[in-house]
């Protein structure tokens, strides 16, 4: 399926050491203004 997002990771209990939320949002085509705002809340 071209252009589809496939999750290839195993889900386990506990806190994540990093987040790809903004990256996935960009792949999903969210508007730039939303992405820039989300980046303000993301750790560097």
- Does residue 1 register a pLDDT over 80? no
- Does residue 26 register a pLDDT over 90? yes
Q: Where are the domains of the chain?
A: 19-44
Selected residue with higher pLDDT from 16 and 35 = 35
- The encoded tokens of residue 6 equal 């496939």
């Amino acid at each position: 399926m071209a252009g589809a997002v496939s999750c290839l990771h195993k889900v386990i209990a506990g806190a994540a050491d990093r987040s790809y939320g903004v990256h996935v949002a960009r792949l999903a085509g969210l508007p730039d203004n939303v992405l820039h705002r989300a980046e303000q809340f993301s750790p560097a």
